[in-house]
A and B are shown apart, each in its own frame.
Chain A
Amino acid sequence: EVQLVESGGGLVQPGGSLRLSCAGSGFTFSSYAMSWVRQAPGKGLEWVSGISGSGFTTYYADSVKGRFTISRDNSKNTLYLQMNSLRADDTAVYYCAGGDYGDLSWYFDLWGRGTLITVSS
């Protein structure tokens, strides 16, 4: 069964740090470009960061650039998101998503169930 399982969510104080993990199984993990997509309570989807299948190329939304770092360990079939300097507006469900990307498109056909991050004092 193809699966993405996120972990590492929880409550953190403003200015704090957290690391999310996403374990993939049932597919060739290294063949998939991966991303983190978040959804604030009652709001729409917001892309956070992405990484190529090899891990050599990374991309970030302006809202998290300089604060978040995406990485992957293909030997462990795991995607990571290191989140520093967290703010209240980072509060959201964070989804791990995988798919195919190229010059003209990047779409996500695999999604995890999400993990909730709450930034509050």
Chain B
Amino acid sequence: SYEFTQPPSVSVSPGQTASITCSGDKLRDKYACWYQQKPGQSPVLVMYQDTKRPSGIPERFSGSSSGSTATLTISGTQAMDEAGYYCQAWDSSTVVFGGGTKLTVL
């Protein structure tokens, strides 16, 4: 089945900026969104329509998209941001997720 490409893991030091990419041709003309999932918990929407942040999501989370790549950026990363992150998009008939990225804050 089709899946967007994400790096399996990203490491960042506390206070630094983490960037997680999501690539796929279907992202050229569709909006991407992003979910954060901590172990044993349900996913939480942290970004939608490429750049929109849901209420309650800290301002350090931002999103962008260019061509076939969407990017989630976390500025001033905190220990609490350590989690799995998944991109997702919709191609008018199928919802597609990325394979997920494990963000480690060390």
Which residues of A does B touch, CB under 8 Å?
Answer: 35, 37, 44-47, 50, 59, 61-63, 95, 97, 99, 101, 103-109, 111-114
Contact with A along B78-101 (1 / 0, CB 8 A): 000000101011101111111110
- Chain A contact residues, majority secondary structure: strand
Q: How far is the CA of A37 from the CA of B96 in the complex (A)?
A: 11
| B residues near A108, Cβ cutoff 8 Å | 33, 35, 43, 45, 88
Give the Cβ gap from A72 to chain B, nearest Cβ, in Å: 17
* B45 to A, closest residue via Cβ: A109
Residue of A45, A62, A107, A113 near B49 (CB, 8 A) is A107
- In the bound complex, how far is the Cα of B86 from the Cα of A112, in angstroms? 17
State whether B42 touches A107 (Cβ < 8 A).
Answer: no
Tell me if B94 and A59 are in contact (CB < 8 A). Answer: yes
Which residue of chain B lies nearest to A112 when distances are taken between CB atoms in the complex? B42
- Given the complex of chains A and B, what is the CA–CA distance between A35 and B48 in angstroms? 16
Complex Cα gap A104–B52 (Å): 14
Shortest A67–chain B CB gap in Å is 15
Count of B interface residues, CB-CB < 8 Å: 28
Query: A45-B43, A63-B1 given as contacts; is B54 within 8 A of A109 (CB)?
Result: yes
Whether the Cβ atoms of A45 and B94 lie closer than 8 Å is no
Please name 15 pairs of A and B residues whose Cβ atoms are closer than 8 Å in the assembled complex, sorted by A: A44-B100, A45-B88, A46-B1, A47-B97, A50-B95, A59-B94, A63-B1, A95-B43, A104-B49, A105-B33, A106-B95, A107-B31, A107-B90, A108-B35, A108-B45
Q: How far is the CB of A21 from the nearest CB of chain B, in Å?
A: 17
Residue of B at shortest CB range from A44? B100
Residue pair B86, A45 in contact (C-beta under 8 Å): yes
The reply to whether B30 and A105 form a contact with Cβ atoms under 8 Å apart is yes
A61 contacts which chain B residues (CB < 8 A)? 1, 94
Cβ A105 vs Cβ B90 within 8 A: yes
Closest to B33 in A: A107
Are B92 and A103 closer than 8 Å at their CB atoms?
A: yes
Which 7 pairs across A and B sit closest by C-beta, in order of nearness? Answer: A106-B90, A105-B31, A47-B95, A107-B33, A44-B100, A107-B48, A111-B42
